[in-house]
A and B are shown apart, each in its own frame.
Chain A
Amino acid sequence: MWKYVVGFVAFSALVIWVLSKGGDIDMSGEKHGVDVAPAASAASN
């Protein structure tokens, strides 16, 4: 079990490090539409 714990901690540390370097990324999961940039206006006709 300790191997899993060490592996998980190391993997997690790597993820936090990568996120801290350039972590502005969408983590909100799968989108269910067709998103294109720029976003459509809120008051489009």
Chain B
Amino acid sequence: MATASAVGKPMTKEEKKVIFASSLGTVFEWYDFYLYGTLAVIIGNQFFSALDPASRTIFSLLAFAAGFIVRPFGALVFGRLGDMIGRKYTFLVTILIMGLSTFIVGLLPNYASIGLAAPVILIGLRMLQGLALGGEYGGAATYVAEHAPHGKRGAFTSWIQTTATLGLFLSLLVILGTRTAMGEAAFAEWGWRIPFLVSVILLGVSVWIRLSMNESPAFKKMKEEGKTSKAPLTESFGQWKNLKIVILALVGLTMGQAVVWYTGQFYALFFLTGALKVDGATANIMIAISLIIGTPFFIVFGTLSDKIGRKPIIMAGCLIAALTYFPLFKALTEAANPDLAAAQAKNKVVVVADPERCSFQFNPTGTAKFTSSCDIAKQVLSAGSVSYDNEAAPTGTVAQIKIGDKVIPGFESKGMSPDDVKKADADFKKAISTALKEAGYPAKADPEKMNKPLIVAILTLLVIYVTMVYGPIAAMLVEMFPTRIRYTSMSLPYHIGNGWFGGLLPATGLAIVAQTGNMYNGLWYPIIFASITFVVGMLFVKETKDVDIYAKD
């Protein structure tokens, strides 16, 4: 068993194989994550566009459930299996389910061919993927950590975290390669299936390698001694001494880690292209460069956590992120779109509205309809990424927008015919767009005026924060729980943290921006949650680097 200290010794061939086999599954996970993002519109057109609005709303909610709600349940289902029958077979099952459901999407007939069955099967496959995904990360982290020598768990498990970048890059290569080779039209028609079908290669390699692996030594020993848990769920969540640690792992670790990660990789990209109007291709390259520079830091911080501890690095990451997000994102504006920064300083945009007519525009599935003049005005401005101030108007008045000296009246769409709404909407947007142009607001960021090295430096710093909170997290989660309930107990807080707190960041951030009008205010979401994690983590989470993970077996 790998309990002896092995600090200073190079990795053995078997250890490398363990890390490779486990990481391949998480590469798959990320590959799939990005496929659905990148191909969302094409998939929507193939499977959902012919549905009536009510059915589309239902499917949106189901797709939302597949992405968010199902994963923690997958953590429970597969975590329980992993603690009862073993890590090896469980994460063999998770990768098979995940891989086959991805592959089948590539073969699935579209709505035009089989009607309603097409979106129903697609959502079913997404649910299966979500379930399997809930068991994948916990399995990989547990398996690697239980093979790692004492004193090297941080270094070993940090390799798993690098797979987020590798999965993204792999999806980009396959999608862009296919799209370029066959042309846009053929790709939208049927070529989008190829990236899903290609995943079978990744699946084959993963299954082949995982079949040749041995069970984790910790689990094997426990099984031989007949000490495996008969009811991991009851033990994990039904006993306060364990439940308390699960809650601490969520609130004091994964919640903050997730929001820092989502801000560094996704919100930064959204901010660049949405708020700062940097063209997509330029923003993508700058994000990719920052990921390339930042990714090795997963290993750096994972390894460092074996020496100075997991807690100081994760807590420092949360704290520094919370303290520096506002100045960093403001610097990003100055560097990426100085004209926008100048226009914002010179000509304020103000929404004058009856507060009673303004709602919190939380719309994660994109299906909510806004009809009040206040909501419409704010939605148009936030969709155009215009920062604005709010001014209260007397009760019952229709909202209006002031841009510099110009006043643009809004409209209430309730009771109007669809054609009238369309016309009023188009006129409203045109008036706003003209007024913004006259006030010096740029329609696009000027590439000549961008300070690209500075943008990349800021983005890289944001990725380094991600590596600080994410690099040591797997080792820390593994070390918090005994072998008999480890898979179950660590999977749930990870997926609630990342799926729910992280996954809701873009929609919540956007809603906060639309509500308050300030394009930086979406940052309050990660700042608040990272701060909560910092405080709870500092007060209640214990350092684990020296924990003997076999001690409580």
Contacts and interface: CB of A to CB of B under 8 A. Distances in A.
A32 B503 contact: yes
Contacts of B367: 33-34
Given A16-B288, A35-B41, A29 B33 contact: yes
B371 A45 contact: yes
B329 interface: no
A17 to B, nearest CB: 10
Interface residues of B, number: 69
Contact of B34 (A29, A37, A45): A29
A37 B421 contact: no
B140 interface: no
B198 interface: no
B187 to A, nearest CB: 11
A28 B271 CA distance: 11
Interface residues of A, number: 32
B421 A32 contact: no
Given A16-B285, A19-B172, A32 B33 contact: no
A15 B172 contact: yes
B60 A43 contact: no
A22 to B, nearest CB: 5
A34 B176 contact: no
Q: Which of B176, B287, B296, B365 has the most CB of A within 10 A?
A: B176
Nearest to A36: B44
B425 A26 contact: no
B379 A18 contact: no
Interface in B60-89: 60, 63-64, 67-68
A26 B376 contact: no
B430 interface: no
A25 B184 CA distance: 12
A30 B33 contact: yes
A28 B43 CA distance: 16
A36 B41 CA distance: 5
A27 B172 CA distance: 8
Nearest to A33: B365
Interface in A1-45: 8, 11-12, 14-16, 18-37, 40-45
B49 interface: yes
Given A31-B63, A44-B369, 9 more contacts: A22-B281, A29-B34, A33-B366, A34-B60, A36-B56, A43-B376, A43-B413, A45-B413, A45-B418
Interface of B: 33-34, 36-38, 40-41, 43-45, 48-49, 56, 59-60, 63-64, 67-68, 166, 168-169, 172-173, 175-177, 179-180, 265-266, 269-270, 279-281, 284-285, 287-289, 292, 295-296, 364-367, 369-371, 376, 379-380, 383, 411, 413-414, 416, 418, 421-422, 424-425, 428-429, 503, 506-507
